[in-house]
Amino acid sequence: MIKTSLYHVTALWHGNFRAMALMLVAMFGFSGVAVAAYGNVTKDSVVDPGILKIEEKAFLGEKINYDFVLQDENGADFELGSLLGKPLILAFSYYTCDGACSVINKNLNETLKGVERWEMGQDYNVLTVSFDQHDTPATLVDFLQKAGFKDGVPSGWTMTTMREKENIVKLTGSMGFKFFWSPRDALFLHPNVYIMLSPKGRVTRYLYGGTISPVDMELAITKAMGEKIAAANVIDFVVGACYSYNYEDGKYTVNIPLFIAAGALIFGLLLIAGSFSYMKFWRVKT
């Protein structure tokens, strides 16, 4: 059994902390992280929050495996792929969490209530998946109460556990989502993020829980729909093109370069049209 703590690793290899921390994670295995609660990591372990950061550029545009089998609160099995065909908002949580996870799901529910253009279940789906291998449909039901879903989640939203526990590593890893058990705090450390998937299952955006607004979510859904543009909603995609995601602020902002380019194009076309009209006028006059 490996008894060396992450704290000791930092003392020995201070200059390469992140690399060594990731090596230790690989040694323990993501699927064994929850087991750390039972003594695999000493209580003086320290985890650098930096290694929780999602390397977005490495995963944006990547297509996930949608053959994973999930279980809902009733224990019914279904494949992740059954929720695709339209944009999917995915949130990773764990159901024995006393704080952040219930808040993440509550906030998402409130945010989606402010999305006016698209309707959950009809235009997009929402999925909450537990990354804790010890979660079951029973702990999921308890979590629904804590997260404020006493009457169940809205239509189009599914909360699940993983049927095959070893697939937790594959699913979270395919999107760059990292999590660690902290014995000192007796909880999982993980990013509070909503992951937007396109109708074909490609990662299109990471939206962080503390900053997301209904407008940001609506734009993210609109842009995720880009794989299947229909004549009826071309205007929505034109509107979506007018905004770009600002990684520094974590929000969508007006795409100023696009407006500058469009303005320059219009000015150029007007100039050309004006020149032809002027030349035609003088030819007629002479």
Give the residue ranges of the annotated binding site.
97, 101
34, two tokens = 């929850």
SS3 track for 113-155: HCCCCCCECCCEEEEEEECCCCCCHHHHHHHHHHCCCCCCCCC
Nearest to 203 by CA among 194, 215, 192: 194
CA distance linking residue 94 with residue 182, whole number of Å: 14
Dist. CA 176–CA 34, nearest whole Å = 18
| CA 77 – CA 167 distance, rounded (Å) | 14
First CA to last CA distance, the chain: 98
Going by the annotation, the residues of the binding site for Cu cation are 97, 101
Contacts of 191 (CB under 8 A, 6+ apart): 52, 53, 54, 177, 178, 208
H runs (alpha helix) in the chain: 6-12, 17-28, 56-59, 100-113, 137-146, 167-173, 214-224, 234-241, 256-285
Question: How do strand 187-189 and strand 203-208 relate by DSSP bridges?
Answer: unpaired
Cα 115 to Cα 275: distance, rounded to the nearest angstrom? 47
